[in-house]
Structure 1
Amino acid sequence: MRTRAPLDAAVVEPLLAAAVAAPSIHNTQPWRFRPDPGTQQLEVRSAPERTLPLTDPLHRAQYLSVGAALFNLRLAAVHQGLRPEVRLLPDPREPGLLATVRLSGPLGAGEQPSDPGLYEAIARRHTSRMPFTGRPVPEPVVAEMASAAYAAGARLHLPDVAGTRRLLRLTALAETRNLARPDRAAETRTWITAPGSDASYGIPVTALGPPSVTGRPPMRDFTAGLPALRLPARWFERHVQVALLWTPHDRREDWLRAGEALQYVLLTATAHGLRTSLLHQAMEWPDLRAATAPPRHKRCRPQIVIRYGYGPDGGPTPRAAVETG
């Protein structure tokens, strides 16, 4: 019979510190954690007050964010020698309860993570909205990223030149639509953190990237309508390297798994010295999201576009104190 690890502070705090380091849309950090001493489980819940009604009306991006945090939590548990037993959406009567994590252990010798650098990559992973060098990423590294997505229940489509142009074109079209909607642009701007602010959420101005001189890649324009915050346009890499993360189904459980797969891919890239950023704009429009699916992939449900390559570190974004209520 498996033993349970006690949910005391020494066990829980490192797990939650890793969990909240995950990426989230607009750095909304839409998660809550609650230790349940009675069941010796950690409850992972959504934070409904940190949603994006216009950008993410179905909360799909929120689930991806929580899934990424859940992957970090799993990885931190394994790092401590504990076995995380995870149940996704365990109670249909509680839609806000997204997962439970029961800790048992110790791990067997064959259950240790194959890449010892993956856990260390949690602290080093930052979204970089800056220009990359354009240096091609070696095929074995890209293959390892694809394997990470597959291991977590998702797929990573690696487009050719024409496919990359199509994804960038659809992302640019989505960005144009977003900027044409004052309500959407205003919602995005509310998550910009002013210089010197002590806000625990959102994206600080110092972490925003400049617009591209050529419009490729079509990075999200957080400063539309705020000329005082706009940065001078810069040249970005000519040959943009992107990948499409997708799942065969599109249920709430699939969104959580896609988030776990996303974080697995990002940490794998970070461990190899890559920088990454996320292009989510096309996912925010149903017709454009469907159009990002590769031809002849009838079961493809696109979740997010990942830009990757070599370049400057994006730097950390603020993190709120861990909420365990």
Structure 2
Amino acid sequence: MCPAVLDAPTLESLIAAAVAAPSVHNTQPWRFRLDPDTGTVVIRAGPERTLRLLDPGCRAIHVSVGCAVFNLRVAAAHFGWEPVTRLLPCPDRPDVLATVRLAGCARPSSPAGLYEAVWRRHSSRFPFSGRPLPATVLNDLAEAALAEGGRMRLSTPPETDRILRITWEAEHRNASDADRAAESRHRVQGPPRAAPGVPPAALGPPDFPDPLPMRDFGAHRHPAVLAARPHERRPTIALLSTAHDRRTDWLRAGQALECVLLVAAAHGVRSSLLHQALEWPDLRRRLASPDADQHGHVQMVVRLGYGPEAPWPPRRTARDVLAEDE
């Protein structure tokens, strides 16, 4: 049944689902506004939440907003609307990244079935069991990415080693750069800070050696030696890529990424994002496979597996991110 009106509680539920999306450093770089005349939610970038050094081109912000757009689409379909999405709809307003119009009744193809996974999905930096993912699950994840204009493929064991070496190099660069380290350190939430950030409990036990190149938000635990043995004997690493590398592709990559993560969560699969190498142009290029058949632009490195639930990162409320006017 199609909903008759969009009331305030439902609007808050839609926006709460959107802000449950992952974002680089949990910056939550988005603002939302409802146009009541057209039933359209306008999503803008929050310039005050950009990462000047880690994301100077705002690629990661676009990917983050794309994740929020997908969650909004999922929630809209769950409540009965057909979400009609436009990317970069205002050429004269570059801060307007997307609009989602709540139009008519949701079609069977709308992503309504993932709504419960929105609230279960969050990144886990903790060790995974090493149990391999079934082929059926991997196929579902690849199809999820493809449905949203992306491509997700599992790396081979030699390629996994290469990707992890590149990511370690990026992590070493980040930890060795005082300004970048300070920018990362600023994103760790600690009392009495109320702003969104990465909760310290999500970083893992302080004495546990970093077996994978997880970001050292403290940038002080092991500044000299970053190499360590893997959490899992053979981590499951996937690359999410797009054919092109424009702003629209970044937004599509975010939607594809979140679709993959929600499908993974629905299957009980944990995930974490290895973004460090993507913050260095030369290392990002090296992430792409040398195989001529694998050309594309890598948008995210995703670690997948089975493991314990991690703490839920803090989120801004719907009222915090809803703007009443322009």
CA 1:297–1:171 in structure 2 vs 1: closer, same or farther (change >3 Å)?
Answer: farther
CA contact (8 A) 2:148 2:255 kept: yes
CA shift for structure 1 position 210: 4.5
Alignment correspondent of 1:251? 246
Is 1:225 aligned with 2:216?
A: no
CA shift for structure 1 position 197: 3.2
Q: TM-score, normalised by structure 2?
A: 0.91
Q: TM-score, normalised by structure 1?
A: 0.91
Alignment correspondent of 2:76? 77
Aligned amino acid, residue 62 of structure 1: I
Alignment correspondent of 1:15? 14
CA shift for structure 1 position 209: 2.3
CA 1:79–1:225 in structure 2 vs 1: closer, same or farther (change >3 Å)?
Answer: same
Identity %: 53
- CA offset digits 1:62-99 (Å, max 9, x no partner): 11110000000000011111101111000110000001
Aligned amino acid, residue 52 of structure 2: P
Show the 5 A alignment for 1:67-146. Answer: 67-108=66-107, 110-111=108-109, 113=111, 116=113, 118-146=114-142
CA contact (8 A) 2:3 2:81 kept: no
CA 1:184–1:297 in structure 2 vs 1: closer, same or farther (change >3 Å)?
Answer: farther
Answer with 269-278 or 35-44: which moved more: 35-44
Distance 1:23 1:123 in 2: 11
Distance 1:79 1:7 in 2: 13
Is 1:267 aligned with 2:266?
A: no
Is 1:164 aligned with 2:163?
A: no
State the SS of the aligned residue for 1:256.
helix
Distance 1:92 1:281 in 2: 30
Distance 2:192 2:310 in 1: 18
Alignment correspondent of 2:145? 149
Is 1:38 aligned with 2:33?
A: no
Alignment correspondent of 1:324? 322
Give the unaligned 5+ runs of structure 1.
228-232
Q: CA RMSD in A?
A: 2.1
Alignment correspondent of 1:185? 181
Alignment correspondent of 1:203? 198
Give the unaligned 5+ runs of structure 2.
223-227
State the SS of the aligned residue for 1:22.
coil
Number of aligned positions between the proteins: 314
Distance 1:211 1:299 in 2: 39
Answer with 35-44 or 157-166: which moved more: 35-44
CA shift for structure 1 position 236: 1.3
CA contact (8 A) 2:288 2:295 kept: no
CA shift for structure 1 position 141: 0.4
